[in-house]
Structure 1
Amino acid sequence: MNKILIALTIAGLTISCGKETQEVVTQEVQPAPVVSTPKNIIMIVGDGMGPTYTTAYRYFKDDPSTPRVENTVFDRHLVGMSSTYPDTHHNYVTDSAAAATALSSAIKTYNGAVAVDMDKQNVETVLERAKSLGMKTGVVVTSQINHATPASYLSHNDYRYNYNAIADSYIDNGIQADLYLGGGWKFFIREDRNLVEEFEDNGFNYIDSYQLLDSVSTDKPLLGLFGDKGLPWALDDTNKHRLSAMTKTATKHLENEDGYFLLIEGSQIDWAGHSNDIASAMGEMDDLAKTLEYLETYVKEHPDTLVVITADHSTGGVTLGVDGVFQWDPKVLRTMKQSPNSIANLLEKVDITTEYANSLFNFELTDEEISKLITVKNDTATAIKIAEVTGIEDARSGKEYDPFTVNNELYKAIKEVINARTFTGWTSSGHTAADVPVFAMGNNKALFNGYQDNTDIAKKIFTLLDNK
């Protein structure tokens, strides 16, 4: 197919995809002509990374000694925006599974769906298409590798939380990738089944330490699991830029004459958003930024590579500036050496002193802040003891995933200290319907300019794959 016909194909991709999508795409998206078909395609999802996250990261990385606010790698490659809504009767807020399915298959579906449509029928993904064309494929994530986003490229299931079934499908439905890097021991090394051994029986190398990333042989496909579920927070991990390290290994392992498709996910930006944890969010954003900076260099050396970056949705409704105060101050975030969750774990075990708390936060707390932490810890412990004696559960007991414990209440109090110090606000512990940014670099990046729906991103990638 010649270049003109390819361009016309992309511009008219949505004609047969339904009236609603046609109206959105044909009015807003003006794709540039395909210059040449990329050999390698790297798709990156910053899970939960709405536009406020990239803005916050710019200010977080700002050098206060200079008169201007410096641009970041995200600013250098911003090309457009994307809508994210699922196909759930005009419920405009998506979950990660429905959004990932849209990004992987160009199909709108219900929240919770893993690469299946509204009728729970399997839909082909861009990773599966790439594999069928003889390309190598891989996934690199900071969640477990059978979490919603990677699963929506690698598998099919009617419910995202069927973690064991999804993990089993990575073998049972045919191995779809040549490389898997992320977390997931709990789901892949089980009493009823050891999937790691089954991958090894299918010719895979297996590693469970970041230190082995640089030395593992490239002559076999690779499975690397580095956490029970997801990886530790970037702030707490042995390698604070573990996504970047895994990505470097992935590109080295996947390079071949026929090209490759690689999915990368900064998974825990979303988890920080759900927790309303700005410190951990900036740690995860920094890990993703370092990954993009590496890929900037990689694309210069491999100009036949396309990199597309977006978010599946925005999480937490984060705001920079609260309560009418015209200020956002990330100064304390730049000094923190561990996550608020890690600080809570340590403070739970000892009597809280000013000196010890300051050493954990790595900045000086006020007397009021110290008093708040002590009060929360003592009051929670007392309430739990009363509940144990009386048999009456404390009214403050939370949901199953957020129980009323000393650790959780300390974690909340620590986040409140940091949010107050930085003037950070949150409107939700869930997702929001905000549009998300789209970034691109390399071969055919102009195809992703302007406003588009998340399904359009997959449509364009399908077309590029079909014209290899």
Structure 2
Amino acid sequence: MSEKNQPFSVYNRAPSRWTSYVFNHFTLIGVLVLYILSSHLDISFHQAAPKKQNVIFMVTDGMGPASLSLARSFRQHRDNLPIGDILALDKFLVGSSRTRSSSSLVTDSAAGATAFSCGLKSYNGAIGVDPNKNPCGTILEALKLQGWHTGLVVTTRITDATPAAFSSHVDYRFQEDLIAEQQLGGYPLGRMVDLILGGGRCHFLPQSAGGCRADSRNLVEEAKEGNWSYVENRADFDALVGGENVSLPLLGLLAQTDIPYDIDRNASEYPSLAEQVKTALTALSKATEKSDHGFFLLIEGSRIDHAGHHNDPAAQVREVLAYDEAFKEVLSFIDNSDVETVAISTSDHETGGLVTSRQVSKSYPDYIWYPQVLLNSTHSGDYLASKIVSAKQSNIFKDDESFSDFIAKSIFEQDLGIYDYTQRELYTVKKLANIQSELMYFLNNMVSIRSRTGWTTHGHSAVDVNIYAYSNSKRIDELLYQRDPYTGLLGNHENIEIGSFMESLTHVDLKKVTELVRKTHHSPGAMAEAQADSLHVAAMGEQHSGCMQNSKN
């Protein structure tokens, strides 16, 4: 049969140009549909939240990259370790963060923490409020409303900026009395925190009970009446048996103000950050054991920041190492948990402009740094300044010579390991013996010069800070290491993207929570509002220019 006489068939007929166009067009549409569906399925796989998970968010307040260099070299010298030895934290570096606030290129801790908790930029001093001073819903509140358990573990006052920004809403960080009230449930959402461990009894007690509240309320007694368990000293803490014997909600106020620097901490009086973390992890894990939801825990190595403000390298290096020990506790917990768990660690900012080298003369600088000098210090400059002032005011010295001998032998040689002190340094310390903050700065500078540790400021800097993360979940790991700034943490990010990551990971909607907290009382009042700037400066000065009582309480 000739081709001309063959029966018509779509199988043996050459396609027309129109048929080819239609076929190719629909083929392309089909491919695109399949691609979109496959992409959607892939996204759903990555974004689908498991039935239960734990999120541990860790903040190294004031720790920049140089603080880690400081800590590594110090530990290698102290423990005779090889140059390849690194911190536990170092193994889990994933990215870095830009820290500016809405009001300045240099953030404070309040705005920095609000960026994490609410996922938005706000002004310096803002606690859980946006730039217009409207309360913003936090990740802690959102998760609690979904049935998660929540906790805060810090080494400063629990009413300080970082823990406050996750658990309260006030216009200015100095409103610590109001922050304390909200942390116990005194705002529209009620109690959102299940476990609190840190310092700061001061703002929970009236002045008549040894506190510093401006009113007469005793929040500790109110908490007890509201079924909170309460611990306030080492014996109480030990009775928690590492978290095995905890009844939630738990309020642990382990110091009147901040818990002492680790270099000054008396272990028989105060638990370490690592001990507090282990207790919190165990308690929250037990509390959620039979729950469909896990827990959210904020952990802060708070006083790295204070050491930076004080320009105290000996105190700071030990704060960093104490945090690293706490991080090890978190790693151990994650490795032994059958619940999908992630830990994210970052800093709100860098403090002090720390440099591990220093030019001390006009000649060309030597390329040196001496971490061993820091090993000689047995106490912080804060502690030693308080010791000198107390000794001076006690009138125990019969003459100027005996006072000079006390400073030279007890302070310089015994406490700081400095034997090459000059007569000018001795004279200056004696002259400053009644000015605690200036005395502290001078003592810290003596150590810094001899160790060749440099500082550029007693405040914060705008340097980028590191982001670390670890999980026991392949699903979360795939998210963490995405380069997309809104879905992963790999690379360089704005600090608000860390908050957004936690929001996305846990499938909560902070905007909905924001609507629920809108009616929170957050203003300091008209009179305080008019004096807000001066009150903020005064509060910061009290926190960072000495705080001599910290080593005693």
Pairwise CA distance, 1:69: 3.9
Closer, same or farther: CA 421–132 of 1 in aligned 2, 3 Å:
same
Q: Deviations over 1:255-307 (max 9, x none)?
A: 11321000011111111111111111112111101100111111110152100
Is 1:224 aligned to 2:252, yes or no? yes
**Residues 361-411 of structure 1: per-residue CA shift (max 9 Å, x gap):** 25242142xx34420133346xxxxxxxxxxxxxxxxxxxxxxx3433332
Q: Is the 8 A contact 2:58 2:298 kept in 1?
A: yes
Distance of aligned partners of 1:207 and 1:3 in 2 relative to their CA distance in 1, 3 Å threshold: farther
Listed as ranges, the matches of 1:63-142 within 5 Å are 63=77, 65=80, 67-88=82-103, 91-142=104-155
The letter of the residue matching 2:264 is D
Give, in whole Å, the separation in 1 of the partners of 2:63 and 2:496. Answer: 18
Partner of 1:289: 324
Answering whether residue 455 of structure 2 is matched by residue 426 of structure 1, we say: yes
Deviates more, 1:122-131 or 1:234-243: 234-243
Q: Which runs of 5+ in 1 are unaligned?
A: 10-31, 382-404
1:277 to 306, 309, 312: 312
2-side partners of 1:241 and 1:73: how far apart? Answer: 21
Are residues 1:266 and 2:301 paired? yes
Contact 1:274 1:316 in 2 (8 A): yes
> What amino acid is aligned across from residue 151 of structure 2 in structure 1?
G
Change (3 A) 1:340 1:223: same
Shift of the 326–416 alpha-carbon distance from structure 1 to 2, 3 Å rule, reads: same
The SS at the match of 2:300 is: strand
Tell me if 1:313 matches 2:349: yes
**Distance change >3 Å, CA 326–CA 252, structure 1 → 2:** same
Change (3 A) 1:429 1:127: same
User: 1:207 Cα shift?
Assistant: 0.4
Are residues 1:450 and 2:469 paired?
no
Change in CA separation of 1:7 and 1:57 when aligned onto 2, cut-off 3 Å = farther
| SS of equivalent residue, structure 2 residue 177 | helix
- What corresponds to 1:177 in structure 2? 193
Task: State the shift of 1:41 in Å.
Answer: 0.3
**How many residues are matched?**
418
Pair 5,248 (structure 1): closer, same or farther in 2 beyond 3 Å: farther
Q: Which amino acid aligns with 1:180?
A: I
Amino acid at match of 1:158: D
Q: When the two structures are superposed, what TM-score results if normalisation uses the length of structure 2? A: 0.71
Paired position in structure 2 for 1:415: 444
**Is 1:251 aligned to 2:251, yes or no?**
no
Larger Rg: 2
Give the match for residue 242 of structure 1.
272
> Aligned AA for 2:252?
G
Q: Structure 1 residue 361 and structure 2 residue 397: aligned?
A: no
SS of the residue corresponding to residue 162 of structure 2 reads helix
Q: Hey, what's the Cα distance between the residues in 1 that align with 2:461 and 2:154?
A: 22
Higher RCO (CA-CA < 8 Å; seq separation 6+): 1
Rounded to whole Å, the distance in 1 between the matches of 2:229 and 2:169 is 25
Deviation at residue 213 of structure 1 after TM alignment: 2.5
1:202 counterpart = 2:226: yes
Task: Give yes or no for the alignment of 1:342 onto 2:383.
Answer: yes
3-state SS of paired residue (1:448): coil
Q: Which moved more, 1:206-215 or 1:184-193?
A: 206-215
Residue in structure 1 matched with residue 550 of structure 2 by the alignment: none
3-state SS in 2 of match to 1:295: helix
Equivalent AA in structure 2 for residue 74 of structure 1: L
**Mapped pair 1:187 → 2:208:** no
For 1:269 and 1:182, the matched residues in 2 are separated by 15
Give 2:171's aligned residue.
158
Q: Which runs of 5+ in 2 are unaligned?
A: 1-36, 208-215, 360-364, 392-396, 398-402, 481-487, 510-553
Q: CA deviation at 1:196?
A: 0.9
Query: Please, what TM-score do these two structures have when normalized by structure 1?
Result: 0.84
Separation of aligned partners in 1, 2:129 and 2:41: 28
CA contact under 8 A between 2:77 and 2:371: conserved in structure 1?
no
- Pairwise mapping of residues 23-42 of structure 1 onto structure 2 (< 5 A)? 33=46, 37=50, 39-42=53-56
Amino acid at match of 2:415: F
Instruction: Provide the C-alpha distance between the structure 1 equivalents of 2:377 and 2:271, rounded to a whole number of angstroms.
Output: 15
Partner of 1:377: 429
Q: Is the 8 A contact 1:241 1:287 kept in 2?
A: no
CA distance in 2: counterparts of 1:241 and 1:327, whole angstroms: 36
Which residue does the alignment assign to 1:395?
A: none
Aligned residue for 2:129, secondary structure, equals coil
> What's the secondary structure of 1:451's corresponding residue?
strand
Q: CA offsets per residue over residues 2-52 of structure 1, 9 Å max, x none?
A: 99759748xxxxxxxxxxxxxxxxxxxxxx945864611000010111111
Q: 1:212 maps to which residue? A: 236
Judge conservation of contact 1:376–1:409 (CA < 8 Å) in 2.
Answer: no
* Structure 2 contact 233–255 (Cα < 8 Å) conserved: no
Asked if the contact 2:159/2:179 (under 8 Å) is kept, the reply is yes
Match of residue 328 from structure 1: 369
Equivalent AA in structure 1 for residue 500 of structure 2: K
Report the more deviating stretch, 231-240 or 424-433: 231-240
Q: Is the CA contact (8 Å cut-off) linking 1:3 and 1:33 kept in structure 2?
A: no
